[in-house]
Structure 1
Amino acid sequence: MVASTWQQIRSMNRFRQGLLRLRANWVYVLQAGLAAGLSYWVGLNVFGHAEPFFAPMATVIVLSTTGGERFRRSVELVLGVSLGVGMGDLLISVVGPGTWQIAVAVSASIALGMLVDKGVLVANQASFAAVLIATILPPGTSGGFDRMIDALTGGVVGLIVIGLFPQSPLKMGRKEIAKILGLTSEVQFRVAAALKTADAAALAAALTDARGSQAGINNMIAATKFGKETVTVSPLLWHQRSRIKSMIRVLNPVDNAMRDTRVLTRKALVLTEDHETASPKQIELIEGLAGVTARLSDLYYGKGEVNESREIPELVATLREISGAADLSVAEGSGLSGHAVLAQTRSLCVDLMQICGQSRRSAIEALVPIAASPAAVEELWNDGE
């Protein structure tokens, strides 16, 4: 009975996850269906090909590409399929089908793909298409180079559909930024809690989770590049170019915030293992930074009634307060690790203020001076540095 109930719960969870995936990718579903049908119609009615099989196939290949440099990789895929189809038709029609003929066709297609483009996608797709021609669709089942034209047609139609019916260029990038900020905030809260109880095991676990963030950072960068490329190729989205630039501008500060949080966690672990304690003020500052980071994550997720024009100034004011309190007295009485934790706290203030739109120079100026002769820094807002 228990096993049956557990299976039902798992099935319901999978169904909900499937609905979430469908909701997140409904634009792609419509793009693929529309482009596949349109490319087949073009091959059938415009070029007069009896079975323009490769037109919708090339279209689906183009639309299935994801991540950064989508447009360029789509072009590479289309070029590779077209070259492979053409080379396969040419060679197999001359030497006939067979084992060694397939080997020759694949090698020739890969070589041609390498000559045309330095990327591996062109060569790989050329070889796949050549195998398809040599086995499933040998020459004589269609009109010679008609299939090469169909592949080009499908690719071009796919690229046009991407431009005319684009996915949201901001949603994916903001979501990935929110994920990284959410993890950063979680680790910061865990560091503060572990320092209160000198829990080295909890700090080690938090450090492990922080070190596993690189894949998420890579996803964040790829999603933002995808958004930039979508805006570039779609005239309908050109009005969002300034918003994409703003999103790209925060990538380095978000990355730095995660990296500085990793170092903060490592230094806190060393401090605890050395049987030293962080001051209550230091823990309070880390908790304050964790709260700001969590609010930034919610802002990028678009949760609730978060208003960016109201939220950002409030966060900047909070960060200025934390920056003004992060002086040497916070680490007084602690060893080198305690001062290292303070240094990372100050670095995180700068990272988070940059995410809020402050320039690096103005963020550094907000820090309480700890040097005898601190550098004079001009106050600037969002100067793009």
Structure 2
Amino acid sequence: MKFLLAIQAGLAAALAWAAARWLTDMPSPIFAPAAAVAVITSSLGQRLANTIELLAGVTLGIFVSDLLIEVTGVGVWQTGVIVAAAILVALALSPRGGVVGNASGTAVLLGALSSSRHTLEFPRFIDAVIGGGVGLAVSLLLLPINPLRIMRRVAAPTLRELAEQLKQTASALRSRDHELANRALSRSQGIGAELGRFWDAFGSAKETVNFAPTRWPWRRAVRHYQLGAPEVDQTVWNTRVLARRVVVLIEDEEPIPEGLPNAVDELGAAVHAMQNEVLSGWGPEATRRHALRAVAEATQAEIAGTQLSGTVIVGQVRTAASDVLQATGIDRPEALRRIREVASAQSDPHHRPEG
């Protein structure tokens, strides 16, 4: 991915420079390649939005600079006033950093180089248009990323880390190891902090399959992964609550029925199976099987006798299992029905599952 980003940036800079020189006849159109590289290196999944911000910021900076220079003239303090005014106006119109940054950058340029500002305004805007367009063309038409590869590269490590954290949490429960439980909790918090990269990857994949014609055949596969992404996100947050309650349970010396660590283990196995599905394209059967086993073990633990934190853990296992089932393509009512069936079967040995 880093190698492709470098190639995209280099190609975009060269093409933007050549296009701007040909279209504007300027000997050194430095803003066009700068704008192209800014688009390429912007956040994945936000390149189209960032290009719009780039143009909006440049336009706003030019407008504010022109207006104030005519009133205040030029000089040291005038440049400071122009930049401050450009930032304030940009913030009033849009809180997005791209608009504010480009407005202030343009204001600095036109205020500081006031003697030649009338030769800079139009080329600055045209260069931004050319550079932004070339950056988009390179990233979405000439050298688009492989959307499935980038999703797998980010999603698989997230799922692997979550599965290992759940395994660690289950071990802490079995051994009543308070230190290990705290490490598992810290690990779960780290996974939550990494969710931004997870969502950036999905945003990038969506942007690519929507606008890159060569990637249109992969729309269905990308949509399949995207439909499960919110549930993976919820699983991460629910397992953090679970890990926190494990710490409290150990501190309070509550009873730990055998089914409780088994349930957390099975939940981890379900996440591990989901990771294998992402990497290899396997079906979701193993993921669903482990998720429902987690529910069965949690129900057995509840029947055996749990106190406050143990009961909360049982509930979190069921909630996370529902998230996992939905991530495999089962809708929420059906996921809840299956969970109720499994829980009822554990509570009533004579229960016969419906349908």
TM (normalized to structure 2)?
A: 0.84
Shift of 1:154: 1.5
CA contact (8 A) 2:270 2:288 kept: no
Shift of 1:195: 1.5
Matches within 5 A, 1:196-215: 196-215=174-193
One-letter code of the match for 1:234? A
Partner residue, 1:271:
249
CA contact (8 A) 2:31 2:128 kept: yes
User: Which of 29, 45, 52 is matched with 1:52 structurally?
Assistant: 29
- Deviation track 1:172-214 (CA, whole Å, cap 9, x = no partner) reads 3333322332232122111211111111222122112223333
Shift of 1:86: 6.6
User: Which of 44, 48, 53 is matched with 1:76 structurally?
Assistant: 53
Shift of 1:114: 5.3
Shift of 1:231: 2.1
- Deviation track 1:105-142 (CA, whole Å, cap 9, x = no partner) reads 32453456457656342232111122123336851795
CA contact (8 A) 1:180 1:258 kept: no
Shift of 1:59: 1.2
Mapped to 2, the partners of 1:288 and 1:60 lie a distance apart of: 46
Partner residue, 2:290:
318
User: Which of 294, 312, 335 is matched with 1:340 structurally?
Assistant: 312
Aligned to 1:208, the other structure's residue is in SS state: helix
Mapped to 1, the partners of 2:145 and 2:331 lie a distance apart of: 31
Distance 1:111 1:351, change over 3 A: closer
Shift of 1:292: 2.3
Q: Which structure is higher in helix share?
A: 2
Matches within 5 A, 1:210-225: 210-225=188-203
One-letter code of the match for 2:343? P
User: Which of 281, 284, 287 is matched with 2:259 structurally?
Assistant: 281
User: Which of 109, 125, 132 is matched with 2:86 structurally?
Assistant: 109
Aligned to 2:343, the other structure's residue is in SS state: coil
Aligned to 2:116, the other structure's residue is in SS state: coil
Shift of 1:149: 1.7
Partner residue, 2:323:
351
Distance 1:346 1:132, change over 3 A: same
Percent sequence identity over matched residues? 30
Mapped to 2, the partners of 1:378 and 1:152 lie a distance apart of: 61
Query: CA-atom RMSD, angstroms?
Result: 3.0
User: Structure 1 stretch 256-265 or stretch 118-127: which is displaced more?
Assistant: 118-127
Partner residue, 2:220:
242
User: Which of 337, 340, 343 is matched with 1:369 structurally?
Assistant: 343
Mapped to 1, the partners of 2:305 and 2:156 lie a distance apart of: 37
Mapped to 1, the partners of 2:67 and 2:148 lie a distance apart of: 45
Mapped to 2, the partners of 1:201 and 1:341 lie a distance apart of: 18
Paired positions, count: 346
Distance 1:314 1:298, change over 3 A: closer
CA contact (8 A) 1:78 1:151 kept: yes
Partner residue, 2:282:
308
Partner residue, 1:28:
5
One-letter code of the match for 1:170? L
TM (normalized to structure 1)?
A: 0.78
- Deviation track 1:14-39 (CA, whole Å, cap 9, x = no partner) reads xxxxxxxxxx2222212212221112
